[in-house]
Amino acid sequence: MSLASQLVNLLAAFLLLIAFAMLSQRRILTLIHLFAWQGVALAASTFLVAHTTGQTHLYFSAALTVLLKVMLIPWVLHRLIDRLNVKWDVETLINIPTTMLIGIGLAIFAFALAAPISQMASTLTRSTLGIALASVLLSFLMMIVRRKAVPQVIGFLAMENGLFFAATSATYGMPLVVELGVALDVLVGTFIFGIFFFHIREQFDSLEIRHMEKLKED
């Protein structure tokens, strides 16, 4: 196994570790930092793959990731929680240890799922597909178990990270146009979420999701 491939595996392990850390993290501020670090790991692995395989468009992807997911979106989220004044602890629906156990189950499932695909793929990064899937599923789980709106959005963004990683590891990334489009979507989505937060708080004086249960039709 080459050095580059070992490094990519190391970064992938970091990615998964951060995903687990996000799942167990109660504080929103730390959550944002973890999200930013996940972006760093993602950008580094993309850069590494670009360097070893000579896929030039992956350089752009890596740069885009740094710009967007390491700098811009965390900065926006920081501003947001400052303005909304929601730095307190995050409440979860299921307690943290149980969530972690479910998360481990999901990671095993993702690896079992990715095994046959990894066999077929001939890319440098094929062994990391399971990790990518696992981080997608973990982020999804985070969205389910959090009660507040901000961590749910972070979960959503982290899911996009996982997808991006899956794309890089399975096929050396999507075409640049698609990546640009996705990046723009994520950015716009973040802004829209930000605006919604203000409206939700204005309406219910809180960002707790359960207030929206009132909207249900009987």
Binding region for another protein (CB under 8 A): 93, 109, 113, 116, 137, 140-141, 143-145, 147, 152, 209-210, 212-217
Alpha helices in 55-214 (DSSP H): 56-65, 73-84, 96-120, 129-145, 149-171, 176-204
CB of 210 to another protein, least distance (A): 7
- Pick the closer one to another protein by CB: 199 or 214: 214
CB of 92 to another protein, least distance (A): 10
Residue 127's H or E segment, with its range, is none
CB of 108 to another protein, least distance (A): 13
Q: Are 167 and 148 in contact (CB under 8 A)?
A: no
Phi, psi (degrees; rounded to nearest 5) at 55 = -80, 100
Token reading at 185 = 């979507």
CB of 143 to another protein, least distance (A): 5
- Pick the closer one to another protein by CB: 33 or 147: 147
Per-residue burial over 160-185, b if 16 or more Cβ lie within 10 Å, else e, is bbbbbbbbbbbebbbeeeebeebbee
